[in-house]
Amino acid sequence: YKSLNRAQLSYDYLHTNSTTHEFLFGALAELLDNARDASATKINIFTIDDESLRGGFMLCFLDDGQGMSNEDAGDIITFGKSTKRTQESQIGMYGNGLKSGSMRIGNDFILFTKKGPTMTCVFLSRTFHEEEEIDEVVVPMPSFDVTTRRPLLRSPRDKEKHQLEMKLITKYSPFKNEDDFQAMFNRIEGPSGTLVIVYNMKLLDNGIAELDIRSNPHDIILSNPEGLMPERKSFRAYTSVLYVDPRMRVYIQGSKKVQTKRLANNLYKPRVYKYSSSRFKHRSEMDLKKTQEDAKSAENKAREAESKARLVNLEMKLAASTNKDQRAELRKIQQQAAEYRKDAMLKKMAAERKLKLVREPKTLNFVFGMNIDNRQQDGMFVYNCSRLIKMYQKTGPQADGGVFCSGVVGFVDVPYLVLEPTHNKQDFADAKEYRHLLQAMGEHMLQYWKDINIADQGVSKFWENFGYISSNWKEMPSMDQKFVRKRAMQVPVAIQCDLCLKWRILPFSSNNLGKVFPDDWVCTMNPDPSHNRCSAPEEKLNMPEGVLKKAAKSKEDKE
Amino acid sequence: YKSLNRAQLSYDYLHTNSTTHEFLFGALAELLDNARDASATKINIFTIDDESLRGGFMLCFLDDGQGMSNEDAGDIITFGKSTKRTQESQIGMYGNGLKSGSMRIGNDFILFTKKGPTMTCVFLSRTFHEEEEIDEVVVPMPSFDVTTRRPLLRSPRDKEKHQLEMKLITKYSPFKNEDDFQAMFNRIEGPSGTLVIVYNMKLLDNGIAELDIRSNPHDIILSNPEGLMPERKSFRAYTSVLYVDPRMRVYIQGSKKVQTKRLANNLYKPRVYKYSSSRFKHRSEMDLKKTQEDAKSAENKAREAESKARLVNLEMKLAASTNKDQRAELRKIQQQAAEYRKDAMLKKMAAERKLKLVREPKTLNFVFGMNIDNRQQDGMFVYNCSRLIKMYQKTGPQADGGVFCSGVVGFVDVPYLVLEPTHNKQDFADAKEYRHLLQAMGEHMLQYWKDINIADQGVSKFWENFGYISSNWKEMPSMDQKFVRKRAMQVPVAIQCDLCLKWRILPFSSNNLGKVFPDDWVCTMNPDPSHNRCSAPEEKLNMPEGVLKKAAKSKEDKE
C-alpha cells in the first residue's frame, strides 16, 4: 500500500499527548516504569542546576538497566510501538510513556543510552522545533562506538547526517560542545543503562517551576501542595508505594534511598479476601482467542516462507546456479523464513501460556486493614500489574462519609487481563469495569468491617485506644509515648533488604520507636535470628483470610 | 532536515490514544464538538442495525456543518494538527478528538464529508490493519466530484490509487459495493456536512455492547449504569448540559431533539460571584508574548518573500526576459509572498486581540444555586470554553460530607487562557491549577451558603419545605401536588427557542407542572407577550451578585 496516505504526527501533537498527565508525579513515574521494565536495579533521580534553563535546573533519571541499542532507540520515536506488550511482568504497553511523561515535565528532553558496543542519544526538543518553525517531529539520534567514541556511520551520507545532528544538539541542548555532550555518556558507569534529562521545566501560572527541588534536598515536592495526601505532594512518598513488589532501588538526589513501603505491613489487623468474577473469564478468553489467531497466522507465514525458500533452493540446485546475486537472494529468503519461524514459535508459546492462564481460576486478592497511624488517610489503593494507578479511592460506606469503615485502607493488584490502564496510568481505560471493581471492594470492605468487630466494641473507643482523643476526624493521633508504643506494637516494622530485596519483619522493640533505618539495611542487621540471612525465605504475611457472606450476589455478578 | 529521523505512528498507537477516554460519553462528545466547531446547526446521532458487525449496529453522527475539502480531510490523519487552535470560540484544539473518540467507541470508522464541489471519504479501519497485519497507519481517502460523482484524479497514478482505496473500503467497511458506499454521501442532504460512522463497537467484558440502544428508543444509555447520575448514564441527559451556550440542535435516533438545559435556570436562589486572580494574568501575558513573537516572525517572513519577489521581477524586466519557466517561477514567488503577507496580517490581528484581552480584567463568574428538584445531585459543574469538563465535583464543605452546603450546585465557564483541558476533555491538564480553582469555588460556595441564610432558618426545615420529608439524604422529594407546585414556583421553566436559540423563561402556570414541551417549541408559543417573538432580546438572568467577604485572602492569591 505504498501509494496510500499514511497517518502523520505534527509537532503540536507533542503537547496534545502530554496533557494526558494531569498528575505531575504520574509523568515522572513513566520514567521510573521504563527503568523498571529495563530490569534496572537502581535509578537515581537528580537535578543539575543551570540558570540558563527555564526553571533553573534540569531533571535527570539515571538507571543501570539494559539500555537500548540504536535500533531499540528508533522505536522510541515510533509512537505506540512497544515491544514490552507481550511480557506480563512489564508495565509499559502503550509505547508512549517517555514521550508523554517527559513532555509533560519540560519542554525538551535528551536521552543517553548504552548497550553492548553502542551508545545512542535521542534528542526530542520543542525549543528546536519552535525556534526553527518545524511542523513535523524531527529527532536527531546520533550513535557512537562505546570504545572509540567515534560516530557509528554506515554510509558516507551518514557522516553528513551525524554532523547535522550534533550541530543541532550542541545548539539547542544544555551541552554546548562535544566534550560536555560525551561527558553525559560517562555518567552511565556500568556496561549498560540510560540517562534521561528533561529541561526547560514547565512553570506554574505564577511563574515558578512546578517541581520544588529546593525546600527539601532529599525530595522533590510539588510547589504549592497544600492539603494533599503525602503521596500526592512528595515524590519520595509516592515512589515508596509505587510498586507492589519494588525490585529497583530508587534514589532521589543521589544520596538517600527511597524506603519502600508494603501496604499490608503498615496496617492493623490486615485480612485478605478472594474475589472472583465471571467477567474476568470472558476477557481472558477473548485475549486467548486473539493470541491463538496471531499464533496461527504466524505459523502460516513461517510455512509459506519456508516452502518458498525450499523451492528457490531446489531450482538453483537443478540449474546448478553459481550466480552470486541469486545466492544472496536465496540467503535472504532463508533468513526471512528463519525469522518467521522464530516469531511463530514465540507466538505459539505465548498462546500456550495464555491457555494455561485461562484455565486457572481468576481471582483477585483484596487486602484490608486499619490505618491506625493516620486514620484520615484511608481508601482503596488500586494497582495494575504491580504499578499504582489509583490511591485513596473512597468506596462503599467510605464514599458516604461518617465513621462507618473510615480508617480502612484496602488494596488490590489487578492484572492487565482484568483491567487496562488509560495511557496516563492514573486511571482505568474502562470506567464501568473499574467502577464494578470498586463496588466489589466496597462490599468486601463492609465484610471486613464486620469481621474485625470494631462497631460492636464502639468506634470511638477503638480510636481512643490508639490515641485519637479529639472528635475531629482529621486530627493526628496523640504522640504520647503510651499511644506511640501501642500503635507500634500492633503494626510491626517491615523493611526491605537492600541486597536480596526480601521483606523482613522486625520483632517489636521499644528502641525502634521513631527510628530511621539506614538506606543500606540488609538481612544481617535483623535481630530475628531466623531471618538474618538473605538466603532465608521471606516470611509469609500472616493474614487471616475472610469470606464475603452475602445472601444473594449482585445482579452484575450473576450475569 | 530531510536526512534526519522523523517521529512515526505505529498501528498500536490507535489503541493507546483511545484509552484516554475512560468515560465513554466523553468519546462521543468529541464528535459533537467537531460538528459544533464546524458551525453545524444540527447533528443527528443515530444507529443502523447490522447483525454482521460486532455489537449489531453502527453508530452514526450526521451534521450539517461546513464539511471538509479533500485538503481539510488530509489534516485529520495528521495527529495533533488543528487549524481551530487560533479561534477562541472553537472547542477543538488538540487535533485528536475524532481519532481518540471514535477509536474508543469502536474498532473502525468511515467518514463522509461534503464541501463545495468535492466529497471525500476517510477510512480508518483497525479491522483492515489487523487482517492484513499492517504496522503503519494507512488511511484510504478517496475524493469525488459532487455533481458527476466521478473520482477526483489529478494524475494517471491517482486512478490506480483510487481503485485500491475503493477495493479496501468495499472489502472492510459495511458498504460492500460502490452504490451502498455512494448512498452514504446522499445522507448529507444540504450543500455541506459530515457523516461519521463508527462500527464494530467495543464490547463490555460480559460480551454485550457498551452502549445500549435498545432499552430506550430515544436515547443511548450505558449498559449496566447502576447508581450513576443521569448525565453519566443517559447520553440525552449528558448532551442537554454539554455546552453553556447550545448553538446546535442535537437529535438522538432522528426523531427527538435534546432539550437543552441551562443550569442557572434550574436552581433555587441562584447567585453569581465574580472571582479574579493574578494567576490568570500571568498566563495571559505569557500567551500574548508568544502571539506577538509569532506575529513578528510572520511579518519578517512576509517582508523577505516580498523583497525577493521584487528583486526577481526587476531582474527579469532588466533582462527583458520572456522565458516561460522564469515567468512561472516569478508567479510562484509572488504567490508565496502574498500568502506569507496574509498569514502575517492574521497573526498581527490575533496579537492585537490578545493585547486587548490582557488589558481586560480577568474574572470568572461563579454561579451557585440550590438544586431543590433533586438535592443529592449537587456539586460543581466546570466548563471550559463553553464545553462541560467536570460535573458533580464536591468541593469545600461538600467534600467533607454533612448537610453544610449540600444540595448546592455551582458552575463556571473557564476560558482556555485560564485552564486547558486534558486531551480527553474530562479533566484539566494541570491538576494543581484546577485544584486552585475548585478551592476558590469552595470558598465562594461557603459565602453563598451564608448569603442565602439557610442555616439560620434550619437546614432540615428548608428541605422539608420543599418536600424532603425523609431524613435519608438520598431519597427523592415528595411528589405530593403541594410540594411539586412549591418547587415549580421557585424554579421557572426555561426553554430554548428552536429557531433563534434564545432562552425564554415561561411565566409560572399550574398547567406546566410535569409538562413536556414540543421539540420545535418557538418563541411564538411563549405566553409572555414581551418575549413571544424571536426578535425580542433574551431576558437577562435576574441573578443577585454576591461578594466574598474574607478578612484575609489566602496565601496563594496574594502571591
Polymer length in residues for chain A: 559
* The predicted structure's pLDDT at residue B88: 65
HSE-up of residue A57 (Cα within 13 Å, Cβ side) = 17
What is the torsion angle, in degrees rounded to the nearest 10, for the CA atoms of residue A8, residue A10, residue A15 and residue A20?
Answer: -20
What is the torsion angle, in degrees rounded to the nearest 10, for the CA atoms of residue A301, residue A303, residue A308 and residue A314?
Answer: 170
CA distance B20 to chain A (A): 5
* The predicted structure's pLDDT at residue A555: 43
Any B CB within 8 A of A550 CB: no
Give per-residue pLDDT as tens, B304-343: 888 888 888 888 888 887 788 888 888 888 888 888 888 8
Rounded average pLDDT over B356-384: 88
- Taking the C-alpha atoms of residue A358 and residue A285, their distance in angstroms, rounded to an integer, is 6
> Where are the extended beta strands (E) located within B50-134?
57-63, 78-79, 106-115, 118-125
Contact between A19 and B133 using a beta-carbon 8 Å cutoff = no
Cell numbers that stand for A532 in this block: 538474618
Any B CB within 8 A of A432 CB: yes
- State which residue of chain B sits closest to A14, comparing Cα positions: B80
Is the four-CA dihedral B196, B200, B205, B209 of positive or negative sign? positive
Cβ atoms of B261 and B240 closer than 8 Å: yes
Interface size between A and B, measured as CB pairs under 8 A: 234
- State which residue of chain A sits closest to B165, comparing Cα positions: A4
Q: Which residues of A464-475 are buried (b: 16+ CB within 10 A; e: fewer)?
A: eebbbeeeebee
- Taking the C-alpha atoms of residue A432 and residue A227, their distance in angstroms, rounded to an integer, is 29
Q: Which of B96, B102, B60 is nearest to B79 (CA)?
A: B96
Give per-residue pLDDT as tens, B512-522: 887 888 888 99
Cβ atoms of A438 and A379 closer than 8 Å: no
Whether the pLDDT of residue B431 is over 70: the answer is yes
CA distances from A377 to A267, A494, B226 (A): 12, 19, 28
CA distance B49 to chain A (A): 24
* Residues of chain A positioned with their CB less than 8 A from the CB of B402: 401
Any A CB within 8 A of B173 CB: no
Q: Which residues of A129-166 are buried (b: 16+ CB within 10 A; e: fewer)?
A: bbeeeeeebbbbbbbbeeeeeebbeeeeeeeebbeebb
* Residues of chain B positioned with their CB less than 8 A from the CB of A137: 6-7
Residue in B9, B74, B280 nearest the CB of A80: B9
Give the H or E element holding residue A297: helix A278-318
- State which residue of chain B sits closest to A157, comparing Cα positions: B3
Residue whose cell numbers read 508567479: B331
Per DSSP, the residues of B354-411 read HHHHHHS--EEEEEEEE--S-TTS-EEEEEETTEEEEEEE--GGGGG-SSTTTTEEEE
Return the higher-pLDDT residue of B478 and A323. B478
> Which span out of A281-285, B47-51, B395-399 was modeled with the highest average pLDDT?
B47-51
Any A CB within 8 A of B206 CB: yes
* Residues of chain A positioned with their CB less than 8 A from the CB of B11: 80
- Taking the C-alpha atoms of residue A331 and residue A334, their distance in angstroms, rounded to an integer, is 5
Cβ atoms of A97 and A116 closer than 8 Å: no
CA distance B11 to chain A (A): 7
* Residues of chain B positioned with their CB less than 8 A from the CB of A420: 19
Crossing angle for the helix pair B178-186 and B156-172, to the nearest 10 degrees = 90
- Taking the C-alpha atoms of residue B125 and residue B199, their distance in angstroms, rounded to an integer, is 9
Cβ atoms of A122 and A77 closer than 8 Å: yes
Cβ atoms of B340 and B298 closer than 8 Å: yes
Polymer length in residues for chain B: 559
- Taking the C-alpha atoms of residue A120 and residue A151, their distance in angstroms, rounded to an integer, is 10
Contact between A7 and B78 using a beta-carbon 8 Å cutoff = yes
* Residues of chain A positioned with their CB less than 8 A from the CB of B96: 13, 16
Give the H or E element holding residue B441: helix B431-451
Cell numbers that stand for A249 in this block: 532501588
Q: Which of A239, A244, A241 is nearest to A385 (CA)?
A: A244
Does the ipTM exceed 0.95? no
Q: What is the pLDDT along chain A (559 residues), one digit of tens a residue?
A: 888 888 888 888 888 888 888 889 999 999 999 999 999 999 999 999 999 999 999 999 999 999 999 888 988 888 888 776 556 677 777 778 899 999 999 999 999 999 999 999 999 999 999 989 888 899 999 999 999 999 998 888 889 999 999 999 999 999 999 999 999 999 999 999 999 999 999 988 777 899 999 999 999 999 877 667 899 999 999 999 999 988 899 999 987 899 898 888 889 999 999 998 777 676 777 778 888 888 888 888 888 888 888 888 888 888 887 788 888 888 888 888 888 888 888 888 888 888 877 777 678 999 999 999 999 899 999 999 899 999 999 998 888 777 889 999 999 999 877 888 888 888 888 887 888 899 999 999 999 999 999 888 889 899 999 999 888 888 899 999 999 999 988 888 889 999 998 899 888 888 888 788 888 899 999 999 999 999 999 988 778 999 998 754 444 444 3
Q: Which of B383, B409, B377 is nearest to B396 (CA)?
A: B409
The conformation of residue B203, written as its DSSP 8-state character, comes to B
- State which residue of chain A sits closest to B398, comparing Cα positions: A401
Give the three-state DSSP class for A121. strand
Contact between B205 and A401 using a beta-carbon 8 Å cutoff = no
* The predicted structure's pLDDT at residue B192: 96
Any A CB within 8 A of B189 CB: no
Domain boundaries of chain A, sorted by first residue: 25-260, 268-276+364-525, 278-359
Quick count: other Cβ atoms within 10 Å of Cβ A278?
13
Give, rounded to a whole angstrom, the gap between the first and last alpha carbons of chain A.
Answer: 44
CATH fold of the domain at A268-276+364-525 = Ribosomal Protein S5; domain 2 (3.30.230)
State which CATH number among 1.10.730, 3.90.70, 3.30.565, 2.70.98 fits the domain covering B25-260: 3.30.565
Q: Which of A310, A287, A439, A298 is nearest to A358 (CA)?
A: A287
Contact between B7 and A94 using a beta-carbon 8 Å cutoff = no
Whether the pLDDT of residue B124 is over 70: the answer is yes
Give per-residue pLDDT as tens, B160-219: 999 999 999 999 999 999 999 999 999 999 999 999 999 999 988 777 899 999 999 999
Q: Which residues of A304-331 are buried (b: 16+ CB within 10 A; e: fewer)?
A: ebbeebeebeeebeeeeeeeeeeeeebe
Cβ atoms of B13 and A96 closer than 8 Å: yes
* The predicted structure's pLDDT at residue B396: 86
* A:20-49 residues touching chain B, CB 8 A cutoff: 20, 22-24
Cβ atoms of B543 and B272 closer than 8 Å: yes
Residue in B3, B224, B559 nearest the CB of A164: B3
Contacts of B259 (CB under 8 A, 6+ apart): B240, B495, B496, B517, B519
> B370: buried, middle or exposed (CB in 10 Å: 19+, 13-18, 0-12)?
buried
- Best residue in B3, B10, B11, B13 to probe A by mutation, most A CBs within 10 Å? B13
> Residues A295, A299, A304, CA angle at the centre, nearest 5°?
150
Give the three-state DSSP class for B281. helix
Residue type, A405: C
Quick count: other Cβ atoms within 10 Å of Cβ B559?
15
Contact between A204 and B13 using a beta-carbon 8 Å cutoff = no
* Residues of chain A positioned with their CB less than 8 A from the CB of B6: 9, 77, 136-139
Per DSSP, the residues of A494-527 read EEE-TTT--EEEPPP-GGGTTPPPPTT--GGG-S
- Taking the C-alpha atoms of residue A356 and residue A367, their distance in angstroms, rounded to an integer, is 26
- Taking the C-alpha atoms of residue B368 and residue B441, their distance in angstroms, rounded to an integer, is 9
Contacts of B137 (CB under 8 A, 6+ apart): A6, A7, B9, B10, B11, B13, B14, B77, B124, B129
Backbone angles phi, psi at B370, to 5 degrees: -95, 135
| Residue ranges in A319-430 assigned as alpha helix (H) | 324-359
Rounded to a whole number of angstroms, the CA Rg of chain B reads 27
Residue whose cell numbers read 531450482: A315
- Taking the C-alpha atoms of residue A14 and residue A20, their distance in angstroms, rounded to an integer, is 11
* The predicted structure's pLDDT at residue A45: 96
- State which residue of chain B sits closest to A225, comparing Cα positions: B432
| Residue ranges in A173-277 assigned as alpha helix (H) | 178-187, 230-233, 235-240
Q: Is the pTM of this model over 0.90?
A: no
| Residue ranges in A422-523 assigned as alpha helix (H) | 431-451, 454-457, 459-465, 481-490
| Residue ranges in B187-277 assigned as alpha helix (H) | 230-233, 235-240
Residue type, A373: D
- Taking the C-alpha atoms of residue A290 and residue A354, their distance in angstroms, rounded to an integer, is 10
Residue type, B548: L
Rounded average pLDDT over B286-302: 84
Give per-residue pLDDT as tens, B234-243: 999 999 999 9
Backbone angles phi, psi at A290, to 5 degrees: -60, -45
Range of lowest pLDDT (A80-89, B289-298, B542-551): A80-89
Residue in B10, B82, B206 nearest the CB of A79: B10
Contact between B556 and A224 using a beta-carbon 8 Å cutoff = yes
Residue in A22, A160, A297 nearest the CB of B427: A22
Any A CB within 8 A of B12 CB: yes
Give the three-state DSSP class for B117. coil
- State which residue of chain B sits closest to A23, comparing Cα positions: B431
Any A CB within 8 A of B283 CB: yes
